């Protein structure tokens, strides 16, 4: 049993926001695993088809994805989340909603809906690298501290749900420290989820990019040392009451232990389940 923002979760692992965490069918499949929580998302205000295919590639020890957050949009989730929450609770699990926006207003609208339907925890996706607007890659909020503060303050003002921040990996230790200081001053932030995929990875076959958008987020076992370093640094910098959720290359119970020993309270897995199916989460059980 672990506690995040006063919410008790029966276990140390769960799925991360990803392409197979969007539907009622996904929730039903996760409800049959030993995960302590089910995370739905990322979701946006408007429905999205996501990026064009191919947008997923599995390499030797890594994966590339540029899904572009396909989802049904706010009104769709307003209607289906109550049943998702009931399914999660009936299986002894908490329901976490991951939201992503193109503006502070988007985050506020999504958080308001999350508050209305009664999700247990709310994850703000501030680190997705795979979104394009009018053909241009959208800036990543995790690297804009003023935007982070604006979004966190706006969401905190309209919901009592404990907040998790899904962050990008920070290669500059000074930037990570500055973000940790920012988070320490945000009363409603209960946890950080670190890390999102490494931005702008590239791979080709016969000179042709394997991903339609050319660049993609890098995930999987290859990024595990980076992910562990992010956990260790944030644990050292954050107030004790703020949990650290580790993400990155977690595929076994031994991997979970590595992250817990580095200072994580819990872990999330995405590449594992996108590649091998929802039930693969149970490989993380001790």
For the chain, percent of residues with pLDDT exceeding 90: 95
Query: Domain containing 243: what range?
Result: 2-277
Question: How far is C-alpha 86 from the geometric centre of its chain's CA atoms?
Answer: 21
* pLDDT for residue 226 is more than 80: yes
CATH of the domain at 228: 3.20.20.70
* pLDDT for residue 14 is more than 80: yes
pLDDT classification of 138: cutoffs 50, 70, 90: confident
Q: Is residue 283 part of a domain?
A: no
Phi first, then psi, for residue 267 (nearest 5°) are -135, 160
Q: Is residue 212 part of a domain?
A: yes
Q: Is residue 198 part of a domain?
A: yes
Phi first, then psi, for residue 190 (nearest 5°) are -100, -20
- Give the separation between CA 225 and CA 11, rounded to whole angstroms: 23
pLDDT classification of 281: cutoffs 50, 70, 90: very high
Q: Is residue 15 part of a domain?
A: yes
* pLDDT for residue 276 is more than 70: yes
pLDDT classification of 128: cutoffs 50, 70, 90: confident
Q: Is residue 286 part of a domain?
A: no
- Give the separation between CA 195 and CA 268, rounded to whole angstroms: 10
* pLDDT for residue 104 is more than 90: yes
| Count of domains for the chain | 1
Mean pLDDT (whole number) for 39-58: 96
Mean pLDDT (whole number) for 258-282: 98
72: buried, middle or exposed (CB in 10 Å: 19+, 13-18, 0-12)? Answer: middle
pLDDT per residue over 183-200, tens digit each?
999 999 999 999 999 999
Q: Is residue 259 part of a domain?
A: yes
* pLDDT for residue 255 is more than 70: yes
Mean pLDDT (whole number) for 197-226: 96
pLDDT classification of 129: cutoffs 50, 70, 90: confident
Q: Is residue 282 part of a domain?
A: no
pLDDT per residue over 51-76, tens digit each?
999 999 999 999 999 999 999 999 99
90: buried, middle or exposed (CB in 10 Å: 19+, 13-18, 0-12)? Answer: exposed
pLDDT classification of 139: cutoffs 50, 70, 90: confident
Phi first, then psi, for residue 97 (nearest 5°) are -110, 130
Strands 7-9 and 2-4: antiparallel
> What is the pTM (predicted TM-score) of this model?
0.96
Phi first, then psi, for residue 281 (nearest 5°) are -55, -35
Q: Is residue 171 part of a domain?
A: yes
Phi first, then psi, for residue 81 (nearest 5°) are -65, -40
pLDDT classification of 133: cutoffs 50, 70, 90: low
Q: Is 114 left (phi over 0), alpha (psi -120 to 50) or beta?
A: alpha
* pLDDT for residue 35 is more than 80: yes
């Amino acid at each position: 049993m672990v506690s995040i923002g006063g919410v008790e979760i029966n276990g140390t692992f769960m799925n991360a926001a990803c392409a197979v965490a969007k539907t009622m069918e996904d929730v039903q499949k996760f409800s049959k695993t030993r995960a302590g929580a089910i995370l739905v998302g990322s979701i946006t205000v408007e429905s999205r088809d996501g990026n064009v295919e191919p947008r997923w590639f599995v390499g030797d020890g890594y994966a590339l994805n540029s899904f572009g957050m396909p989802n049904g949009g706010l009104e769709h989730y307003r209607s289906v989340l109550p049943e998702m929450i009931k399914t999660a609770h009936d299986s002894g699990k908490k329901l976490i909603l991951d939201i992503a926006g193109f503006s502070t207003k988007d985050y506020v609208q999504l958080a308001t809906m999350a508050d209305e339907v009664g999700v247990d925890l709310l994850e703000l996706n501030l680190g997705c690298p795979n979104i394009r607007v009018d053909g241009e890659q959208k800036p990543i909020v995790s690297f804009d501290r003023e935007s982070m503060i604006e979004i966190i303050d706006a969401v905190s003002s309209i919901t009592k749900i404990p907040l998790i921040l899904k962050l990008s990996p920070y290669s500059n230790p000074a930037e990570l420290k500055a973000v940790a200081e920012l988070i320490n001053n945000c009363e409603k932030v209960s946890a950080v989820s670190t890390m999102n995929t490494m931005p702008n990875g590239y791979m080709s076959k016969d000179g042709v990019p394997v991903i339609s958008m050319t660049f993609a987020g890098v995930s999987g076992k290859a990024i595990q040392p980076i992910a562990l370093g992010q956990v260790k640094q944030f644990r050292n910098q954050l107030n004790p009451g703020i949990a650290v959720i580790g993400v990155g290359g977690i595929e076994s119970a031994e991997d979970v232990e590595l992250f817990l020993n580095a200072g994580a309270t819990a872990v999330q897995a995405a590449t594992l389940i996108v590649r091998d199916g929802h039930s693969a989460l149970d490989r993380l059980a001790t």
